[in-house]
Amino acid sequence: MAKIIGAIATSHTPTIGFAKDRRLENDPIWKPIFDAYEPIRAWLANKRADVLLTIYNDHVTSFFFDHYSPFALGVDDLYRPADEGGGARKVSPLPGAPELARSIATSLFAEEFDISFFRGKPVDHGCFSPLSMLADPDGTWPWKVLPFQVGVLQFPIPTARRCYRLGGALGRAIRAYPSDLRVVIVATGGLSHQVHGERCGFNNPEWDHQFLDLIENDPVALTNLTHAEYAERGGLEGAEVIMWLIMRGAMTDRIRRLHRTYYLPSMTAIATAIYENDGEYPPIAPFRDVQLEGVERLAGTYPYTLERSAKAYRLNRFLHDLIVPEHREVFRRNADALMIAHELTAEEADLVRRLDWRELIHYGVTFFVLEKLAAVVGVSNLHVYAAMRGQSLEELQATRNAKIEYGVGALYLGSQQSKM
């Protein structure tokens, strides 16, 4: 079974990444930061960590307010560094751990912690800046990374208590994973800082040290604070430290601190810490996902799971883009060229070219992009349903109460197609 071998807590700032890229380890301003990470590097290597589950918040880079979620787990194979306005850092993409991610997701949902998932999104300094301090500059990462994004920038945001409880479920989800992975929980963010408004520049070292004591010895006390109380003590942006409570919830009640540093060079107090469990976890029952148990007996039924989503993501994306007028115009003019440009495989392009509705479903395409394709090529949903059932349109219609045809792009009235 997977094991939580310890936890790292660290601030995240863009400057940490820049200092690393410019090799400022001997600069007196930056040296304390490099020195702070050195014991963590050594500890990670010594512990032979396989996966770093990294809790971070995006800074309105890859997660915008058009769809903002409180908790988003990365389910991708690879995470590229994000361009935050000045060009992306030239560091290798982080290797993901998609199988572990899917297992954690299923366990969390079973505990009624419903989270969202992301792929195809670059990851910003919230995740990258501390991690790059922990790896060699030659571009290889010694561990896989599971990014866990917390939406803390548009209120309402999760309460501190919710974060702590989620951490408990996350810990159980990791420990239920049936493979001997050695997992480290990495909490990022904080400490005290505020970067907006007239109060910008606010720091509170006294509170920071108190927070570092409490996260270690009395995390429950920290779960009782409101966001306003966190903001009062550590600045509004400093309230992102609630993410540390997710890490703390995944650990045993008692923990042992092996390392702790604190440094306030400019606007953000930079802290680092290493913790190991110093207690026992309550035993957990072997996890079994019952929600889809038996669904395989329903012939001709294909739940759209994270596995199917991963396999057919590129093709689903291509077909989803048919909601964009320019994309569908190009598709109508020269579908082959467009499919090559979007790097569809020969098999995928063939399925689309032949409009093999049934095989597209078998491949992993969701019906709800197939109906967009149907609208573009001018056939009704009924036509697609019939093809999936292996019937003619007339045979399908004979099984319905009304003989009508429709799709997401049109109502079909006799031979007339009425665009909606």
Which tokens hold the place of 325? Answer: 């007028």
Q: Is 125 among the catalytic positions? A: yes
Length of the chain as a residue count: 420
Task: Return the bridge partners of 411, or none.
Answer: 406, 418
Per the annotation, the verdict on 320 as an active-site residue is no
- Are 407 and 377 spatial neighbours (Cβ–Cβ below 8 Å)? no
For residue 231, give the nearest of 262, 202, 269, 210 by alpha carbon: 202
One DSSP character per residue, 374-406 reads HHHHT--HHHHHHHHHT--HHHHHTTSSS--EE
Alpha-carbon distance of 379 to 377, in angstroms, equals 6
Closest CA to 247 of 155, 150, 129: 150
Using DSSP's 3-state secondary structure scheme, residue 271 falls into strand
CA dihedral 222, 273, 55, 121 (to 10 degrees): 150
Report the alpha-carbon distance of residue 266 to residue 272 in Å, rounded.
16
**DSSP code, position 22:** T
- From the number of C-beta atoms within 10 Å of its C-beta (0-12, 13-18, 19+), residue 313 rates as middle
Output the six-digit token pair for 97: 């751990």
Count of C-beta atoms within a 10 Å radius of residue 67: 8
Kindly name the residue from 193, 227, 259, 327 that is annotated as catalytic. 193
CA angle 139, 136, 17 (to 5 degrees): 85
* Rg (alpha carbons) of the chain, rounded to whole number: 25
149 contacts: CB under 8 Å, gap ≥ 6: 56, 57, 58, 63, 71, 72, 73, 74, 118, 126
Least Cα distance to 235 among 198, 182, 288 occurs for 198
Catalytic residue among 125, 259, 320, 362: 125
Active site residues: 125, 193
